[in-house]
Structure 1
């Protein structure tokens, strides 16, 4: 029997995530049954929203919390099919699925995962590397595309502010808005990330939100106000946006990372009256609510990537055992772009060979 490894949580974090709250476990990997495939995982995703599931109860309406001492089902992963007993999949196919943070997975072909985003899917890797399907061509790309163009309803002439603009989703949103010809402001938590936003992504303005008060920093970057705020942070960022939005402005609320690890709920916006007086629209959403847009998103973003108009920086961590540390680093704000774990190693290849 093939011996695999999987990361399991052994304690729910209180505040900052620590690698000691996880352990790497060796498990036997069974053969696939009819309708299933055996996948050797090669890349797995690391996303800030995983923190919401590392608690006794996940937020109502969200994906369920990860049970302690159990494999972490519901994390996007790319891998190679080793054996297939499912129609439409063959040995050697590159696929994505949602059984991540492990090096082997037996996946049921028809089983829906992560609202449909994580259902076993064969990937075309002829024009983009496999890991791109965990970022720009996957859930992050879908979240950015759906949030900007459908939830926020981007209009001609809009001025756009994106928080956490150097992250996996925010960096895509900012670039998509620039590609469509808009003035785009980005914010991030370090001077290095601000340079990345200005020099590599070509944003019109960017600021380090730790360098002053948010309303003042935003006013300096967008003296005439903004029309769209793409929210990845919540809290004081959302409050600043409400003050800066012009009439009929829109807020697409993708995430609230300021709340993910907070011991106590942070203060919410204390200035909601502008939503009334300026006719604002605020709408929360998840990428998995928009799976019908996946083909459209892949066509458009894939073209932008091939044309060199959409850039996708990756923070890559090697080794499955390092996945918890990669998540902790991401939540501290250390990473830029998409955070990935490259699972493959020497021992892994030896196991795959029998």
Structure 2
């Protein structure tokens, strides 16, 4: 029986925001499996700021998506057909580095079967137990090296990564201060996620807020945003502060050259350790991160939200939620039912 796929393909490189016509929604037949392959059906598709980077031809950490190719992305899927001994129909898997499509054909060793943990929803494997959780864990623990009593500031704090970073900081005995874009997000950070304070950058003076909530300076700046917010943080860093550079989302849609930090000298004057990283740098250590995050999740020490968009056809239009700050927690597209 033939199976028809639905795929988003890149037709032209966006200029500024992703616009209608940059990607095209197409239908294609799914080819037959070869030995060692599986056909998987996407249940949840991850939407991430890096999707916008992959659409561009700028220098980046992996080759960009080529014009005419399926849009790159990952998520959670169900095995529907298998010619690989280690997987059977019905198995739930992490699709790895896949694409924006209903179906994918992958080598069996390219996907990982997910455990069935009572009380843990599938969406947890896209949040604390997924790539965003690993990004937060290794960025803070390996680069940020938080110590009890220190102050950790997190930009884009109500996002999938930022919300985990602040909670891990609290588990380590630190003071956690988040920067987010709405009163609702700030309330969630302090009342649900346990941050000590939160600053609404759209309504408040960020500099004044940092001075108020970080009276002893900042020891770790977990950077997701860049731009003006990062520049405001830099003069408030303590000597020997650490700065995991996870993202620069404020510049991903820029159409003109982006100026560097005006307060760049603070890296020298305050002896700051700055390190950019990509979560795949830590692939071999994922079991360590999964064990720690899984334990904290089971102990009720981690809270997470999933912002679910219905329908694969809505994936490109939903990306703007990341760049306008509309999402709370991990943004995903529900592509099909998890059955």
Q: Same fold (TM over 0.5)?
A: yes
- Structure 2 counterpart of 1:325: 317
Q: Secondary structure at the match of 2:88?
A: coil
Q: CA RMSD in A?
A: 1.7
1:263 equivalenced with 2:255 (yes/no): yes
Structure 2 stretches of 5 or more lacking a match?
none
Contact 1:236/1:268 (<8 A) preserved: no
1:162 equivalenced with 2:154 (yes/no): yes
Give distance in 1, aligned partners of 2:309 and 2:20. Answer: 14
Q: Secondary structure at the match of 1:211?
A: coil
Correspondence 1:93-108 to 2 at 5 A = 93-97=91-95, 98-108=97-107
Which of 167, 170, 176 is the matching residue for 1:178?
170
Give distance in 2, aligned partners of 1:167 and 1:295. Answer: 23
Correspondence 1:218-229 to 2 at 5 A = 218-229=210-221
- Structure 2 counterpart of 1:31: 32
Q: Secondary structure at the match of 1:149?
A: helix
Give distance in 2, aligned partners of 1:70 and 1:79. Answer: 21
Correspondence 1:54-69 to 2 at 5 A = 54-55=55-56, 57-60=57-60, 62-69=61-68
Give distance in 1, aligned partners of 2:131 and 2:316. Answer: 20
- Structure 2 counterpart of 1:90: 88
1:300 equivalenced with 2:299 (yes/no): no
Q: Secondary structure at the match of 2:319?
A: helix
- Structure 1 counterpart of 2:52: 51
Contact 1:19/1:328 (<8 A) preserved: no
Contact 1:41/1:343 (<8 A) preserved: yes
Give distance in 2, aligned partners of 1:19 and 1:191. Answer: 31
- Structure 2 counterpart of 1:217: 209
- Structure 1 counterpart of 2:308: 316
Which of 190, 215, 219 is the matching residue for 1:198?
190
1:13 equivalenced with 2:14 (yes/no): yes
Contact 2:147/2:172 (<8 A) preserved: no
- Structure 1 counterpart of 2:330: 338
Q: Following TM superposition, where does structure 1 have runs of at least 4 consecutive aligned residues deviating by more than 6 angstroms?
A: none
Contact 1:239/1:268 (<8 A) preserved: no
- Structure 2 counterpart of 1:254: 246
1:19: Cα distance to partner? Answer: 4.3
Contact 1:146/1:290 (<8 A) preserved: yes
Structure 1 stretches of 5 or more lacking a match?
111-118, 350-354
Contact 2:190/2:197 (<8 A) preserved: yes
Which of 126, 129, 147 is the matching residue for 1:137?
129
Contact 1:187/1:206 (<8 A) preserved: yes
CA distances 1:207-259 after superposition (whole Å, capped 9, x unpaired)? 01123443222112212211000000112222222211111111000000011
1:120 equivalenced with 2:111 (yes/no): yes
Give distance in 1, aligned partners of 2:266 and 2:70. Answer: 45
- Structure 1 counterpart of 2:77: 79
Q: TM-score, normalised by structure 1?
A: 0.90
Q: Secondary structure at the match of 2:184?
A: helix
Contact 1:259/1:265 (<8 A) preserved: no
